[in-house]
Amino acid sequence: MKFTYSSRVYIIAVFSALASMLQLLEIFIILPIPFIKIGLANSITLYFLKKREYLSAFFINMIRIFVGGFFSAKLFSLPFLFSLSGGIISFSVMYFLIVFFRDKISITVVSIFSAVAFNLTQYFLFSKIFGGVMEYDTTVSVIILLSIPAGIITAIVANGILNLNVDIVITKKGS
Amino acid sequence: MFRILDILFYILIVIAIVLPFLRNQELENPQIFVTAGDNFSKSLDPGIDSTYHFHNEKLDIEVQVKDGKVRMTDSHCKTKYCVKYGWLGKDDNGKIVCMPQKVIIKFTGEKESKIDAVVG
């Protein structure tokens, strides 16, 4: 399957919309512990990182966080800032793992670490802002444990997209 | 698809999960510390069994202390994760959190390591 775009802007726009839709769908999935999200939208970011479209992946990740904040009426509120911080840290973790380890680690590990980074960032920010101190306690263990299935689900979705063998081609103007 | 290096990362995750349980530091003179944002903080004695109701314009919670443990019995929030958390003991090394009301309930005190002395 091949999709041809004349500019990277179109790719970012289309897949940001898709990622935002996945993020908004997650609102209806309530998990037993706060701070925990499945992060289905992350599968799109993961796909583009695996395809070495790092800039597109970054912009898709950021745009879907802003869109999610806008549609949940929490733009620039504290939960949005937690989400944005988590998004930046989790993207950094995914980027680091994919760029430095390439094919030596599976996408499942990248996804799990991304989910852990996202949820722990929010938890530590919350602890620091409202508790005054960031503690590595048993709550962290619970958050890591619950991030693992979230990471696995995201990896399954990302693998599904990768297995579709979708080629996204950017054509230059005039060619 | 599984890769060899995955094992290393899975071991890291297991260590990260298990680490807080290995620390197991006992608290001396434990107190229950209830905070809600910057405006409210209260220290409760875990030795006195009682139910406390904290209420102001941003806060509405009920906290129960019994047998040296604490739990949130009621909270004015939608999801009530804090109530579902259940009992928190001084050795549990965790905290009860209510994000909408910015409440954190935890045990504080002087930490004492289980190691009596280190002979070098």
CATH code for the domain in which residue B68 is found: 2.60.320.10
Residue B91: inside a domain, yes or no? yes
Q: Is residue A175 part of a domain?
A: no
Range of the domain at A144: 2-170
Q: In the Cβ-directed half-sphere of A136, how many Cα atoms lie within 13 Å?
A: 10
Which of A33, A137, A142, A163 to probe by mutation at the B interface, max B CB count within 10 Å? A137
**B23: in domain:** no
User: Quick one: closest CA in A to B18, which residue?
Assistant: A141
Q: Indicate the number of domains in chain A.
A: 1
In a domain, A126, yes or no: yes
Dist. CA B42–CA A154, nearest whole Å = 41
pLDDT (mean) for A124-152: 81
Write down the ipTM of this complex.
Answer: 0.78
> What are the start-end ranges of the E strands in B21-92?
26-36, 40-44, 50-55, 60-66, 69-75
Average of pLDDT values for A154-174?
76
Q: Quote the CA–CA distance of B78 and B99 in Å, as a whole number.
A: 11
Residue B115 belongs to some domain of the structure: no
- What radius of gyration, in Å, describes the C-alpha atoms of chain B? 18
Mean pLDDT of residues grouped by 10 in chain B (120 residues)?
Answer: 85 89 71 84 89 87 92 84 84 80 82 44
Lowest-pLDDT range of A34-38, A52-56, A93-97, A144-148: A34-38
CB contact A130 to B (< 8 Å): yes
Residues A106-112, mean pLDDT to the nearest whole number = 93
Kindly list the distances between the CA atom of residue A15 and the CA atoms of A57, A59, A87, B21, B107, in Å, as whole numbers in the listed order: 9, 10, 16, 42, 46
- Identify which of B2, B10, B104 has the shortest CB distance to residue A130: B104
Task: Evaluate whether residue A109 is within a structural domain.
Answer: yes
Enumerate helices (H) and strands (E) in chain B, giving the number of each.
2, 7
Instruction: Write out the residue range of the structural domain in which residue B65 sits.
Output: 28-109
Q: How far is C-alpha B91 from the chain's CA centre? A: 9
CA within 13 Å, CB half, B89: 6
pLDDT score at A110: 94
pTM: 0.74
Q: Would B10 be classed as within a structural domain?
A: no
How far is residue A174's CA from residue A151's CA, in Å, rounded to a whole number? 42
The answer to whether the Cα torsion of B46, B51, B54, B59 is positive or negative is positive
Q: Which residue is it, tokens 């530590």?
A: A124
B81 with A33: Cβ contact below 8 A: yes
CATH number at residue A149: 1.10.1760
CA distance A164 to A44: 13
- Residue A103 sits at the vertex; the CA angle it makes with B6 and A160, to the nearest 5 degrees, is 85
